[in-house]
Amino acid sequence: MAELSSSEWDLFLTRHPEAHILQTTAWGELKQAYGWQVIHVQEGDTGAQVLIRQIFPGVRLAYIPKGPVGSKWQGILPAIDQACKKAHCVFLKVELDAWEESDQMPFSRPPGFIPSPQSIQPPRTLVVDLRGDDQVILGQMKQKTRYNINLALKKGVVIHPTTDLDIFHSLIELTAQRDRFGAHHIDYYRRAYQLFHPLGQCELFLAEYEHEPLAALMVFAFGKRAWYFYGGSANVHRERMPNYLLQWEAMRWARSLGCQEYDLWGVPDADLAALEEGFSQRNDGLWGVYRFKRGFGGELRRSKGPLDRVYRPALYHLYLVWQKSRRSE
């Protein structure tokens, strides 16, 4: 097993532009600032960024978000096991960077893994194809979404990059209160921006009307993919449709970097028929954002997994009981 330094991992990733941004050193450093230990392991041309943290006394979780990187998954498992056991982990959670509908992975489930009852990242998403010019991409969108993009332009909405994390966070907090979801502390978003923006892998966009902030988002890019992770909007001038123009400008930024896909990052975990039947009647959870995101013409995809690899069964069972009790509170 080769355990790599951060610089060695960066070098490894230069040979893997297909890697997910959650496997980058910058993402590991972001998580490290919030209690995670980061380990990089490599075997041949396959590697993994493994995140480890203590959940409660005696129980440590290892987590590979959107990895491993490379195709020879089976060969790196002993190296991953060694790193996890050395850190006294109860189990390893893996969320693969592969879609259920594709043949990216030559296996359905490696030996020694069990289906996990819990996802950390949203399992289902919409992915917009960025290959083509403006007219091609706009042509994939629903007519109402194209109309709203043009309406925002006609109504004087202006989009521009910003470095103002205070405004960005205030808009996220407004959205969290309005839509009843949790938001990170401003320091989390500031650290993410400081890590990714100097690398050209992140941009913060602000939508304004007559210099009044209406909406903002933080978009990330690595290789040929981009991801919309964080965003928020004000309670005023919503009739000017700033969020539609904001997403469109983020897509154009991603395409200018050579990205071919734009991941809208998270919709309800239901099949297309259920989503289309239910979105007009539900606003709970991710249902409200599905109504908005569906208009951009993305392909509905679901990740393979998640999978758990258990090292200490008794403590793993205790962890599952604890998780179940938290969800029922």
User: What is the per-residue pLDDT for 106?
Assistant: 46
pLDDT at 9 over 50: yes
For residue range 99-156, what is the model confidence (pLDDT) as tens digits? 987 655 444 577 899 999 999 999 999 999 999 999 999 999 999 999 999 999 999 9
Contact 94, 76 (CB under 8 A): no
Spatial distance between the Cα atoms of 130 and 258, rounded to a whole number of angstroms: 9
Q: Are residues 104 and 31 in the same domain?
A: yes
Q: Are residues 80 and 220 in the same domain?
A: no
3-state secondary structure 294-323: HHHCCEEEEECCCEEEECCHHHHHHHHHHH
For residue range 215-252, what is the model confidence (pLDDT) as tens digits? 999 999 999 999 999 999 999 999 999 999 999 999 99
Q: Are residues 65 and 156 in the same domain?
A: no
Q: Are residues 89 and 132 in the same domain?
A: no
Q: Are residues 283 and 161 in the same domain?
A: yes
Q: Are residues 114 and 41 in the same domain?
A: yes
Q: Are residues 182 and 112 in the same domain?
A: no
For residue range 301-324, what is the model confidence (pLDDT) as tens digits? 999 989 999 999 999 999 999 888
Q: Are residues 178 and 290 in the same domain?
A: yes
Task: Report the domain count for the chain.
Answer: 2
For residue range 247-306, what is the model confidence (pLDDT) as tens digits? 999 999 999 999 999 999 999 999 999 999 888 778 777 777 899 999 999 999 999 989
Spatial distance between the Cα atoms of 262 and 164, rounded to a whole number of angstroms: 24
User: What is the per-residue pLDDT for 73?
Assistant: 81
The two tokens of residue 23 are 């496997």
Spatial distance between the Cα atoms of 34 and 212, rounded to a whole number of angstroms: 33
User: What is the per-residue pLDDT for 283?
Assistant: 73
User: What is the per-residue pLDDT for 103?
Assistant: 53
Q: Are residues 317 and 286 in the same domain?
A: no
Among the listed residues 196, 223, 40, the one whose alpha carbon sits nearest the alpha carbon of residue 130: 223
- Which domain, by its residues, includes 73? 2-119+304-328
Looking up residue 260, the CATH number of its domain turns out to be 3.40.630.30
Q: Are residues 133 and 248 in the same domain?
A: yes
Spatial distance between the Cα atoms of 191 and 110, rounded to a whole number of angstroms: 35
pLDDT at 213 over 50: yes
Q: Are residues 143 and 94 in the same domain?
A: no
User: What is the per-residue pLDDT for 1?
Assistant: 55
Averaged pLDDT for residues 202-206: 98
- pLDDT mean across residues, the chain: 93
User: What is the per-residue pLDDT for 2?
Assistant: 76
Q: Are residues 87 and 130 in the same domain?
A: no
Averaged pLDDT for residues 10-32: 97
